[in-house]
Copies of this chain bind each other. A is one copy, B any other.
Amino acid sequence: MNTQLLSRIKAETRKVDEIILRVMGSGLPSELFEASKHLLQLGGKRFRAYVVLASCGAAGGDPTLAYNTAAAVELIHNLSLIHDDVIDRDARRRGHPTTHTVWGIPISIVAADFLMPKAYMCVLESQGSVPDDKLLHVIRKLSTAGAELSQGQAMDIVFEKASRVTDEEYFLMASKKTAALFGASAWSGGMIGEATEAQAEGLERYGFNMGLGFQLVDDILGVTGDESLTGKPLGSDIRQGKKTLVIMKAIEMSDGGSREVLMSLLGKHDATESEIKTAVEIVGESGAIPEIVRLAENYAQRALDSLNKLELRGGTDTLVELAQMAVEREL
């Protein structure tokens, strides 16, 4: 764990948090404002926000100009989490009760809705300091990524009912749900930092590949994650019937009896603790996890390869560290 990078992220994204809270403002009903802020105030890595800032810096720009867009990206991410939790009926995230657990489903649905226009208002805070045409570009990129995010969430939902999904289906889902916003974050940061078109596209590929690696690792945590570390209950993806690549691979790589058991427990919402434990053990014994870790590291490497020949004026040291962190995390 790169604790030095983590504390840099924390320090630099504090300004981003300030922008978020200022643009969100306060008002009536207080329930809406509290619910909208709930997850943001429980922490979170601000990883995507930092991808924006680091990409701006790598392009040779002044990262402070990218604070507002970083805030927008973080809001888009957070609103998707609020609705994800409602949809999955997840009671806990980041080690705390989820938004709807505290504020109820109706308020949580509109609390997330509230954050989307606020994300655009964050971007618009840069009017005057970033040229208008560039802001419109950023708004277009974030809109595309935002729509793809919903598309990815919808695939995730549909896949829960499917008995299996192919690798291609999984990667399409992960591209939409996670990688697109990472890519848009890096692209936007680069654009604000005066990157050329080619450099911004390279940065987008960097972010996109890193996002895929990030998601693969996140999926492992969705199975093996220890609540004290990840904030999510052990085996939550198994209970939910998520068709993540690590679960699909574990089914593929397990032998007869174990495979049957794992398949029967996948999506069993009322599974007992001990059944979930069994399923997690089967995934562990299948050999799928090291395979997914290797794959995630491959994507991190592809992310770095995307930076080759871009000749970024601001250097790529931080981007390299970030790509490594994306696939390491709490494994």
Contacts of A120 in B (CB 8 A): 120, 139-140, 143
CB of A160, distance to nearest CB on chain B (Å): 9
Contact A117 B136 (CB under 8 A): no
Contacts of A127 in B (CB 8 A): 136
Complex Cα spacing A113 to B154, Å: 10
Can you tell how many copies of this chain the complex includes? Answer: 2
SS class, residues of chain A in contact with chain B: helix
Residue A102 interfacial (CB < 8 Å): no
CB of A38, distance to nearest CB on chain B (Å): 14
CB of A117, distance to nearest CB on chain B (Å): 4
CB of A108, distance to nearest CB on chain B (Å): 10
Residue A320 interfacial (CB < 8 Å): no
Residue of B nearest to A134 (CB): B132
Residue A261 interfacial (CB < 8 Å): no
Task: Identify A113's interface contact among B32, B83, B140, B143, CB under 8 A.
Answer: B83
Contact B109 A136 (CB under 8 A): no
Contact A150 B113 (CB under 8 A): yes
Contact A106 B157 (CB under 8 A): yes
Contacts of A31 in B (CB 8 A): 154, 158
Residue of B nearest to A114 (CB): B150
Contacts of A149 in B (CB 8 A): 113
Task: Identify A147's interface contact among B118, B151, B153, CB under 8 A.
Answer: B118
CB of A82, distance to nearest CB on chain B (Å): 10
Closest 10 CB pairs of A and B: A117-B146, A32-B154, A114-B150, A117-B143, A132-B132, A117-B147, A87-B106, A29-B158, A113-B150, A120-B143
**Cross-chain pairs A/B with CB under 8 angstroms, 23 sampled:** A29-B151, A29-B155, A29-B158, A31-B158, A32-B150, A32-B151, A80-B113, A87-B105, A107-B154, A107-B157, A109-B109, A110-B153, A111-B154, A113-B149, A113-B153, A114-B154, A117-B142, A120-B139, A121-B140, A121-B144, A124-B136, A124-B140, A132-B132
